[in-house]
Structure 1
Amino acid sequence: MKSGIAVKLAILLAVVGVTAAALTGAYSYGVSRQLLVEASQQSLLAATQVLGRRIDTGLQEVVRNLQILARHPAARSMLRQGDAGSRQQLDELFELMMRANPAYFQIRLISAADFGLERVRVDRQGASFVRVADDDLQEKGHFSYVSETLKQPPGSVYMSRITINHERGVHAGAERPSMQLAMPVEDDKGKPLGVVVINLDVDGMFALLAVDLPADFRLFLANGDGDILLHPDHAKVFGFDRGRRVLIQEEFAATAALVDGRQSRVVFQDVAGSGALQSALLAFVQQPLGPRSEERQLFVGLAQPLSSAREGAQRFGQLILVSVLVLGLLGILVAMLLARLALRPLRQLTDAAQRFGRGEGTSELPVARDDEIGELARSFRQMQQQIGEQMDSLQASQQQLQQLAQYDPLTGLPNRRMLQDRMDLAISRARRHDEQLALLFIDLDNFKDINDGWGHDAGDIVLMEVAHRLRQSVRAVDTVARLGGDEFVILLDVPGSRQDIINIVIKLLEQLSLGIPFQGITLRVGASVGISLFPDDGASPAALLVSADRAMYQVKARGRGGYGFAVLQE
């Protein structure tokens, strides 16, 4: 009689134990799977936001290039006099800029007179460049990127909508997705003489921006109305150009809140898959453009296959399944000996799984037992460790993405976005305490000669050494940032008197004038420094940057290699 009860109890305990283990495994598997998917969603959203910021940074780089070209003396001379020397100089400058920017289809200088006649034009044609001249130059006054740009205030930038380029004779840009950015070229009185236009290869630009993304990620782009501009299924892009609109809000219903302005970002799962996509996680963000842009905003999206997001959970599920099978086969044999003890460790396992699922951390597990319960506990602990490692990896990826969003990858200095944040804080603090700030805009002299003569490796060494010397030459409370190219900015917090600022700048110039060793030679660069003061030269970050930039260009105009304070414009 006792023997029968013991067998029944053993069988009952074995069944209960195996059932509890199976439920624990299923619960743990479901929790880990959901946690990994949620973590993947956040990581995907962060990657999408970083991509959106890269788009903004890329367009700002085009704007800076436009400013360089529009302010170049040869551009004014060509529009006024049309001399051959200015044409040759601009041809060479346009070609150099296109070599440095693979996403540029075309750069043109267009006159405000003669029905918008092109004066200088360089087109990309495969790996070479075409300098268009004489009878091949066309009248473009009827195009909005000419007529609308000429109406803009001085220094403004016009951005066209992203469309298929149907203009004739544009070589590599023909029938390709394009965007025109233009800036007026003005005389000394601010009257527009013409415009400089950069024709941007949209596909090429996004290919460069997405080069660091995993191979299985897919990229999306839509304009402010939702028209799809970039999609894995090429049949769905630029539908409006073929008389049939294909909208992102119709492709993915969750993006409707983004298009109508109710949200600025959305993350969702497309389990059924759509077109060229498999089941995927998707994230879309709103990326505003400048106030002078015909394209009010863009919607940028990334898709990650759901299978890759759940890959870790599948491995955990296999581990749990093996553990449950081992326990099921051995449970009945050992149940007689473990009848009293089996319930306690199983409860420990269940409690540990529930605590872990609620995010309350790990609890004590019977890992020291030399039996099936101990094996299951060790397997469960291993699963917890693997989930923890996966979460740590995801957090590290998020931190890396945040690092890319706020710091210059070459020099490690804060980038333009972080500088903007620090300037906002510093100006607010200075305004509260009635204090002064100083902004130093530093542009390296002869840096282009080093890049051209010794290559980009030498240029990178120079930029990193300049960044190091700038950091070493100022206080810890000051901010040293790189805007891009060979442009640096230093924000001096409560700099003292005007003479104190001059002393700091002289020290910086002395440090930068020292030679930089490179492959057995010594490279030398100089610097031109423009200085603006808060609140005298501007009450906002943008105003201070413009004032310091203008002061720097005045130093350049005097012959480079020195410093100058901003002069308040009437």
Structure 2
Amino acid sequence: MSIKLIGYVMAGVLITSAAIGVVRVQNERGPLSDLIDKTGQSVANATASGAASLVAGYDYGNLEILATNVARQANVIRVIIKNQGGRVMSQAAGDETGSAKRFESPVLFDGQTIGNVSVDISTNALENALGELYGRVFVEQIVFGAILGLIVYLFTASGIVSPILKLTTVMEEAVNKGDSFIARDLEVKSRDEIGRLVSVFNALNKSLASYHHQLHGKIDFANQELQVKNVQLEKRTQELEHALDMLGTMATTDWLTELPNRRKFDETLSRMFHQSQRYAEEIALVLFDIDHFKLINDSHGHGAGDQVLRDIGTLLRLHVRKSDLPARLGGDEFGIILYHTTAAQAQMFVENFLDGVREYAFEYDGFRLNVGLSVGIAQFDASMKAPQALYYAADHALYQSKKAGRGRYSVFSEAAHSQERQAS
């Protein structure tokens, strides 16, 4: 009976002591960790303050001295000082080794961030302190348990067996079920130490139950908040994707005519030109200007000019194929890249387009506007080594149309161009 009683008493004491010891160690861990955090951050801040003028003046020598002095301090493993661009200006290693925690602080000069300081602080002191604390708590709890067991055995052997057994049994049941608390209070049958122990256990159990319910309530609330945040994040993501799509479209689209702009035109011309070079595919380029466009603006205002440009864009979209690229190049200048098209086919396209322009009723503010075009046509040939050569050929043909009286189109001819150069 004595051995069995000692076993029961020691089991209860050890369990209680272990719980108390764990709580004590956990309570000590926080302040120790906070102390290291404050110390490490203070070192980082002080180093950043001392390095401000040195970083601003690119004083590498004194920075090296500063880093070395800081690294010599207790518990400092490493010091790194960087400039605003992330380049390491100075670093030094201390005598400490092992696990570490990094602390960073910006280097400020005249209110501006000009660099960054990183300090690695050893956590060996924290680990050693916790190890010592574990040992001390263990010894204290062993001594406390032995004394308590002896007192219980000597003075209350007969009155403690049943309550301790019941308490232990209930706790074991809760542990076996995986519960963090017991659903009911234990009955207090006396006001002695055992009764007080049961009362304390009941109070602790209530606290655990309350904490358990509060924790689950917070978890449920956090889950609800997370679902709301996820919905909001998904909505913001969709809005961002839409904005990015719009931004990409705006970067390659002329806002007035809604045609591709010069950037898109140049990219497509370069790609199609090199594709034609590689696979010997036919490609034609058409450039045209609006005749006397300045006169339209001067006579009827820039609103009339804008309306004419929009109407030209509409007519272009009606006449081109899906494989072609019409674009506004700037002002009243337009370009059309015709894929798989010869010069003769390009002439047919231009004639149809000019007929459409002549038949279209250009109007603004009740006035009928007379709109004509001067057009240049050029076809890719093997003598052209770059996209600019094809563009130059079409532009030269456009110049010939203007020179011949406007309101017409011209086709670039290398032979004719050579004669012109010889004549000039």
TM-score, scaled relative to structure 2: 0.47
- Rg comparison, structure with higher value: 2
The structure with the greater share of residues assigned to helix is: 2
Q: TM-score, normalised by structure 1?
A: 0.36
